C-alpha cells in the first residue's frame, strides 16, 4: 500500500479537486492529510464521494469520474514509492525508495532481512543476505561501471573473505575488515603488478611479496601501499638488493649485488647510495668511503687491482682536491687532483729516492718544478708531459747546464760548464753539443764555430791567449781541411791541414778564397 507522504499523485489530485469544487473541500482534505495512516486510494475515494453528494450537476459528476480515473492512474504509476508489491512488513515484498532505489526480497518488521536484491538508482546492484536492514552474510555487489565484489558482509560492511574484480584488470581476493581489504590477500593491479601478503585499510601493509610487470620482485615489509622497511629486491636483469626500503626506494643500510659481480654495501637515501659504503668491482677494484647521490663524494679510498691506492677527496665520482696516490713500485704522489688525475701543485716521491715538487697536469709533471735526484743532482725549470722541456738548469756534482731542454735532453741554446770549468755556450741537439757554439777552456783558449756530437766539426775560429789564430776547417776535433794559421808577429801558414798539422802549403789568398767558396755565408768569414 502507499502512504500519503510519498505519493506525488495524491497532492496533484488535492489541488485539482480544490479548484473544481470549493474551499470547503480544501479544508476537508487538509484535515484528512493530518492523519498519516490513511491510505492514498481510500482518501481519493472519500473525496470523490463527498463531491458526488455536494454537487448535483450530472455533467460535473462525469468530469469528476474522469478526474478520478486520471489521478488514480497517475498514483499507481512508476513514480510511486514505498511498498509496491507483496508484504514489506514481514514476508516477501518489493519496495521503492524516494531516491529511486528498489529492493526486492525478504522483510522482517519492515526491515530487509534474509535474501534480497537491491537495485540502486545509479545502476549498481546487490544480491545477497541481509540482517536488520543491512547487508549481512554472503553477497554479490555489481557496480554500474562493471566492477564486481563477491564475498561476506557484516552489518553493512565487507567483512571476512571476499573477491573484487574490475574491468581495468584490477583483482583482489582475500580478507576484508570494516569494508576494506585487511588481512591476507592476493591482488593483480591494473598495470599488471601482482601482490600477495598482508593488507590494512585497503593498502599493502605488513609482510608481502610484489611481482612487478617488468619482472622485478620485492619481498619484505610494506606500509601504506608501498615497500617500506626491510626487504629483498630481485631485479629482472639479475641484480639483487637486500636492506632498508622507504616508499619503494632503497633507504638505510643495504647490500646491492650486481649481475656483473659488483657489490655495494652501505648507506642508501632515496634510492641512491648516500653516506658511508664499500663498492667492490668485478675486476678487483674497490672503493671505500663517502657517497652522495650515487657517486663518490667527500673523503674516500680507492684500491686498484693493479696495486695503486688512492686516499683523498672525491667529487661526483672523481678524484678532485687533495689526496695521495701510491703505486706498487713504491712511488707516492701527494697533492692536488682533478678529473681523476694528478693536477695542480704536488709532490712525487720515486722508489729510487728521486723527488719532484711542482706543477702537474693530466697526471704528469707539467709547468714549473724542481726535480731532486737521489745522488744530489738538481733540476729546476720547466716540464712538459713528465719530461724536462723548456728552460731550466741542471746542477750535478761535476758539471752544470743552463738552457733549453726537450724531452729530458739538452736541446736548443744552452751553457754547459765542464768539471774542469771549461765552458760551452751555444747549440745543443738531442743532448749533445751540435751546432754553432763557443768553447772556452781553462787555459783561456777559445773556439768559435761548428760542433757535431760534442766535437769540433766544420768551420771554426780558434784563438790562443798568445794571439795566434786559426781559421779553417775542423774534423774529429782537429784541424782538418783548408785553413789559415796566423801566428802573433810571425808569418801565416795557409794550406790543407791533416790531424792538426799543415800538410800542403798554399798561398794565403788561395786558401781564403777556397774557404769562402766552401762557406760563403758563414758568419766567421766576416771576422
153 DSSP β-pair partners: 137, 158
Distance (Å, whole) CA 384 – CA 365:
7
262: CB partners within 8 A, 6+ apart = 279, 280, 281, 282
Helix (H) or strand (E) holding 62: helix 58-75
Q: Report pLDDT for 373.
A: 97
Bridge partner residues of 159 (DSSP): none
**Which residues does residue 391 pair with via DSSP β-bridges, in sequence order?**
404
Rounded to a whole number, what is the largest CA-CA distance in the chain? 184
Find the angle CA(151)-CA(153)-CA(157) to the nearest 5 degrees. Answer: 120
* Contact between residue 55 and residue 49 where contact means Cβ atoms under 8 Å apart: no
Which phi-psi region, left, alpha or beta, contains residue 132 (left: φ > 0; alpha: ψ -120 to 50)?
A: left
Domain 398-526 has CATH 3.60.9.10: no
Sign of dihedral through CA atoms 142, 143, 144, 146? negative
**Per-residue pLDDT, 54:** 47
pLDDT of 23 = 47
CB 88 within 8 A of CB 110: yes
d(CA 65, CA 188): 65
| CATH number attached to the domain at 85-157 | 2.20.110.10
3-state helix, strand and coil shares in percent for the chain, rounded to the nearest 5:
15, 55, 30
Cα dihedral 143, 148, 154, 159 in deg (nearest 10)? -140
Enter the C-alpha cell of residue 17. 479537486
Say what the pTM is.
0.71
* Model pLDDT, residue 488: 85
Query: What cell does 342 get?
Result: 694528478
Given this chain, do its domains 85-157 and 398-526 carry the same CATH topology? Answer: yes
- Report CA-CA distances (Å) from 305 to 256, 282, 285, 300, 311: 21, 10, 5, 17, 15
Residue 446 CA: distances (Å) to CA of 71, 216, 457, 497: 146, 87, 15, 19
Predicted local confidence at residue 400, as pLDDT: 98
**Whole-angstrom Cα distance, residue 126 to residue 141?**
4
Burial of 125 (0-12, 13-18, 19+ CB in 10 A): middle
For 99-163, what is the HEC assignment? CCCEEEEEEECCEEEEEEEEECCCCCEEEEEEECCEEEEEEEEECCCCCEEEEEEECCEEEEEEE
pLDDT at 58: 46
What are the cell numbers at 393? 738548469
Task: Say which residues have a Cβ less than 8 Å from residue 164's Cβ, sequence separation at least 6.
Answer: 147, 148, 149, 170, 171, 172, 173, 181
Q: Could you give the CA distance from residue 47 to residue 503 in angstroms, rounded to a whole number? A: 169
The confidence score (pLDDT) of residue 52 equals 46
Domain extents for the chain? 1-80, 85-157, 398-526
Other Cβ atoms closer than 10 A to 490:
10
Q: What is the pLDDT of residue 518?
A: 56
Of 250, 193, 196, 203, the C-alpha closest to 225 is 203
Three-state DSSP class for residue 499: coil
Q: What is the pLDDT of residue 523?
A: 43
Q: Which of 4, 78, 72, 7 lies closest to 36, judged by CA?
A: 4
**DSSP, res 350:** -
Cα(428)–Cα(85) distance, rounded to whole angstroms? 124
CB of 216 closer than 8 Å to CB of 222 = no
169: number of CA atoms within 13 Å, CB side? Answer: 8
CB-CB contact of 185 with 199 (8 Å) = yes
Strand duo 455-463 + 492-498: pairing: unpaired
**In the prediction, which pLDDT does 510 show?**
57
Q: What is the pLDDT along the chain (527 residues), one digit of tens a residue?
A: 343 334 444 445 555 555 544 444 444 444 444 333 334 444 444 454 445 444 445 445 444 444 444 444 444 444 579 999 999 999 999 999 999 999 999 999 999 999 999 999 999 999 999 999 999 999 999 999 999 999 999 999 999 999 999 999 999 999 999 999 999 999 999 999 999 999 999 999 999 999 999 999 999 999 999 999 999 999 999 999 999 999 999 999 999 999 999 999 999 999 999 999 999 999 999 999 999 999 999 999 999 999 999 999 999 999 999 999 999 999 999 999 999 999 999 999 999 999 999 999 999 999 999 999 999 999 999 999 999 999 999 999 999 999 999 999 999 999 999 999 999 999 999 999 999 999 999 999 999 999 999 999 999 999 999 999 999 999 999 999 999 999 888 888 888 999 999 988 765 565 566 666 655 544 444 44
Q: What would the grid cell of residue 454 be?
A: 760534442
- Distance, in Å, from the CA atom of 117 to the CA atom of 296, rounded to the nearest integer, reads 66
Residue 47: how many CB atoms within 10 A of its CB? 22
Amino acid at each position: 500500500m502507499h502512504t500519503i507522504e510519498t505519493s506525488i499523485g495524491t497532492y496533484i489530485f488535492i489541488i485539482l479537486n480544490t479548484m473544481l469544487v470549493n474551499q470547503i473541500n480544501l479544508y476537508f482534505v487538509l484535515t484528512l492529510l493530518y492523519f498519516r495512516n490513511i491510505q492514498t486510494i481510500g482518501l481519493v475515494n472519500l473525496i470523490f464521494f463527498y463531491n458526488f453528494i455536494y454537487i448535483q450537476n450530472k455533467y460535473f459528476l462525469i468530469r469528476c469520474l474522469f478526474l478520478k480515473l486520471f489521478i488514480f492512474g497517475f498514483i499507481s504509476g512508476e513514480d510511486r514509492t514505498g511498498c509496491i508489491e507483496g508484504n514489506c512488513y514481514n514476508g516477501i515484498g518489493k519496495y521503492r525508495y524516494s531516491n529511486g532505489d528498489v529492493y526486492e526480497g525478504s522483510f522482517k518488521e519492515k526491515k530487509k532481512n534474509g535474501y534480497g536484491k537491491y537495485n540502486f538508482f545509479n545502476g549498481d546492484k546487490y544480491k545477497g543476505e541481509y540482517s536488520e536492514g543491512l547487508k549481512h552474510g554472503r553477497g554479490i555487489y555489481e557496480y554500474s561501471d562493471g566492477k564486481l565484489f563477491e564475498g561476506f558482509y557484516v552489518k553493512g560492511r565487507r567483512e571476512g573473505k571476499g573477491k573484487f574484480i574490475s574491468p581495468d584488470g584490477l583483482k583482489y581476493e582475500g580478507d576484508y575488515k570494516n569494508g576494506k581489504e585487511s588481512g591476507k590477500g592476493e591482488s593483480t593491479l591494473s598495470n599488471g603488478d601482482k601482490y600477495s601478503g598482508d593488507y590494512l585499510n585497503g593498502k599493502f601493509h605488513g609482510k608481502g611479496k610484489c611481482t612487478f610487470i617488468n619482472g622485478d620482485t620485492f619481498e619484505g615489509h610494506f606500509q601504506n601501499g608501498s615497500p617500506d622497511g626491510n626487504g629483498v629486491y630481485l631485479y629482472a636483469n639479475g641484480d639483487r638488493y637486500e636492506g632498508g626500503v622507504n616508499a619503494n626506494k632503497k633507504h638505510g643500510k643495504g647490500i646491492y649485488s650486481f649481475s656483473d659481480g659488483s657489490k655495494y654495501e652501505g648507506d642508501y637515501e632515496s634510492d641512491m647510495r648516500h653516506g658511508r659504503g664499500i663498492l667492490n668491482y668485478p675486476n678487483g677494484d674497490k672503493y671505500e668511503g663517502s657517497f652522495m647521490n650515487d657517486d663518490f663524494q667527500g673523503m674516500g679510498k680507492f684500491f686498484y687491482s693493479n696495486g695503486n691506492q688512492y686516499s683523498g677527496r672525491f667529487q661526483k665520482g672523481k678524484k678532485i682536491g687533495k689526496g695521495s696516490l701510491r703505486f706498487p713500485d713504491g712511488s707516492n704522489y701527494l697533492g692536488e687532483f682533478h678529473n681523476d688525475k694528478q693536477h695542480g701543485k704536488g709532490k712525487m716521491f720515486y722508489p729510487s729516492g728521486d723527488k719532484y715538487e711542482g706543477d702537474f697536469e693530466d697526471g704528469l709533471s707539467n709547468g714549473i718544478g724542481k726535480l731532486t735526484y737521489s745522488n744530489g743532482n738538481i733540476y729546476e725549470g720547466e716540464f712538459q708531459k713528465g719530461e724536462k722541456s723548456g728552460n731550466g738548469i741542471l746542477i750535478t756534482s761535476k758539471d752544470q747546464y743552463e738552457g733549453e731542454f726537450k724531452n729530458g735532453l739538452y736541446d736548443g741554446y744552452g751553457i754547459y760548464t765542464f768539471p774542469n770549468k771549461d765552458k760551452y755556450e751555444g747549440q745543443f741537439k738531442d743532448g749533445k753539443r751540435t751546432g754553432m757554439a763557443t768553447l772556452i777552456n781553462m787555459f783561456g783558449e777559445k773556439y768559435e764555430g761548428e760542433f757535431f756530437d760534442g766535437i769540433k766539426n766544420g768551420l771554426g775560429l780558434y784563438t790562443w791567449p798568445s794571439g795566434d789564430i786559426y781559421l779553417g776547417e775542423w774534423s774529429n776535433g782537429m784541424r782538418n781541411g783548408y785553413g789559415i794559421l796566423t801566428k802573433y808577429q810571425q808569418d801565416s801558414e795557409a794550406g790543407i791541414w791533416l790531424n792538426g798539422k799543415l800538410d800542403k802549403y798554399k798561398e794565403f789568398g788561395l786558401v781564403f778564397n777556397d774557404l769562402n767558396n766552401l762557406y760563403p755565408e758563414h758568419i766567421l768569414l766576416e771576422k
